[in-house]
Amino acid sequence: MSTPLYVGIATSTGDGRAGGQARSADGLLDVALAIPKEMGGPGGATNPEQLFAAGWASCFHSALKAVAAQRTTAVTDSAVVAEVQVHSTPEGGFTLSAALHVELSDVDQATADELVEAAHAICPYSNATRGNIPVTVDATVA
């Protein structure tokens, strides 16, 4: 594997997702964690799935912009919504699935679909999850 371009470092303390804290090494991220109400917790703080969804949405959006720039396709109004879902397994564990919804304007549907597929091919989060969890990707043109 090549030399990393960047290393993001974060530490979880306390009780992890059940009332702990997550902090990045540079201090720019510092969040309380809580189990969502939907999973029987108190809610009121972020959780690993929200953090993963935020990271993936941001990274995928950057990949989309990079692909559009390479193809000299103007993408001026766009958004990426990432949904990260938690599922229980029959063995009592948990697994994830995800859906990425890309919203674009100023392009036709075929172009939007091509851009999204190309972004999905280069996004590090997409590459890390490919074949590991179910992921759907779609594009909507406004």
pLDDT tens figures, 15-28: 999 999 999 999 99
Residue 1, pLDDT score: 80
pLDDT tens figures, 97-135: 999 999 999 999 999 999 999 999 999 999 999 999 999
Structural domains present in the chain: 1-46 (2.20.25.10), 48-141 (3.30.300.20)
pLDDT tens figures, 58-70: 999 999 999 999 9
pTM more than 0.75: yes
Q: DSSP of the chain, one letter per residue?
A: -PPPS----EEEETTTTTT-EEEETTSS-EEEB---GGGTS--SSB-HHHHHHHHHHHHHHHHHHHHHHHTT----SEEEEEEEEEEE-TTS-EEEEEEEEEEE-SS-HHHHHHHHHHHHHH-HHHHHHTTTS-EEEEEEE-
